[in-house]
Amino acid sequence: MSGTVSGGRHALRDPRPEVEPVAIGDPGRAARAVIPQPDRRFPFRPAIVLDGVRIEGSSDAGGLEVRAASRRGLSHQYYGTTRQDEFGFLVTQDRRWLVVSVADGVSAGEYSHRAAEIVTREGCTRIAGLLTGVAPAALDWNAVLGEVSAVVVGQVRAELDLPGADLRQVADRAAATALFAVVAVDPDDGGGRTVHVMSLGDTSAWLLHSERETRWTPLQAVKNAGAAVASSATAAVPLIPRELPPPVAARLDQDGVLVLMTDGVGDALGGGTGEVGDHLARAWQRPPDPLNFAAQVGFARRSYDDDRTVVAVWPTPAPS
């Protein structure tokens, strides 16, 4: 590469639209009254992170468009505590697979955002490494989650100077849900893609079809369905259950969107049949500008003040 700068592809774009705050239903008092306070313990951890990329497919096939946003919730803004959600994604060396992850740090742990960072980064890296040797359907999720948990334990012991802390003591300080999805960059002969999802805890994966009657299809059971009063227990790394929930395989069609989210969005979405589901389905018919995507993820709705994280993956049409 002597002397040359390798560049990416470029295209004419629409000018950036103005970003407006989004409200769905009653926005509540907090959305207008909360003044965000910094978390003095973690000054370099931003309240909002976002990304927007296109993953190019091989020459004649389509690729994927990715939008991701993670935002500190109103509650953490009010109490001056850091964002505990995280996302991560990467493309395998061979450019065949996109690996996506979303994690929600368990509130009770002061360092749970570290667990969420480790889950998304280490998790994606390890899965991408394994995919050089096996197909997504054959991934050893126990190994992935076990290794990720080991990194969380090691890091927390080192960073907090707690060399003797056992698993439970580590988990009390740093724990996070873990959601991973593997998507093929190129469509298969049928024009779609198989998606493989592993979810530990209440972070959720969905297929969104804006044009169909059933727009939101969950790729796991919906939380609290049928309970008399709401409860909030959840499984999390590094305390992984002896028996993992089974991985889910689903089909991402050319007109579908794969959406991964933490419960900050998932709780408000419910089963996806209400006004939150309607609003987001309309907003995400096509990949929005990343800034707008972050605004949509941060919609105001009374009492929904948890951190919000969404990664959405759109198949891009094959060049005609």
What distance in Å separates the CA atoms of residue 232 and residue 313, rounded to the nearest whole number?
Answer: 28
Least distance in angstroms from the C-beta of 175 to other proteins: 11
In the complex with other proteins, which residue's Cβ is closer, 29 or 41?
Answer: 29
Least distance in angstroms from the C-beta of 122 to other proteins: 23
In the complex with other proteins, which residue's Cβ is closer, 189 or 213?
Answer: 213
In the complex with other proteins, which residue's Cβ is closer, 265 or 313?
Answer: 265
In the complex with other proteins, which residue's Cβ is closer, 96 or 223?
Answer: 223
In the complex with other proteins, which residue's Cβ is closer, 25 or 192?
Answer: 25
Contact residues: other proteins, CB under 8 A: 25-26, 28-30, 32-34, 74-75, 78-79, 106-108, 222, 224-225, 228-230, 232, 234, 267-277, 301-306
Least distance in angstroms from the C-beta of 231 to other proteins: 9
Q: Give the DSSP per-residue string, the chain.
A: -TTPPP-------PPPPPP---B-S--TTHHHHPPPPP-TT-TTS-SEEEEEEEE--STTS--EEEEEEEE--HHHHHHT----EEEEEEE-TTS-EEEEEEEEB-TT-TTHHHHHHHHHHHHHHHHHHHTTTS-GGG--HHHHHHHHHHHHHHHHHHHTT-TT--HHHHHHH--B-EEEEEEESS--TTS-EEEEEEEESS-EEEEE-TTSSS-EEESSPPTTTT-SS------BBTB--SSPPPPEEEEE-TT-EEEEE-HHHHHHHTTS-SHHHHHHHHHTSSPPPHHHHHHHHT-B-TT--S-EEEEEEEEPPPP-
What distance in Å separates the CA atoms of residue 162 and residue 171, rounded to the nearest whole number?
Answer: 12
Least distance in angstroms from the C-beta of 217 to other proteins: 13
Least distance in angstroms from the C-beta of 202 to other proteins: 9
In the complex with other proteins, which residue's Cβ is closer, 12 or 230?
Answer: 230
In the complex with other proteins, which residue's Cβ is closer, 47 or 222?
Answer: 222
Least distance in angstroms from the C-beta of 78 to other proteins: 5
Least distance in angstroms from the C-beta of 56 to other proteins: 36
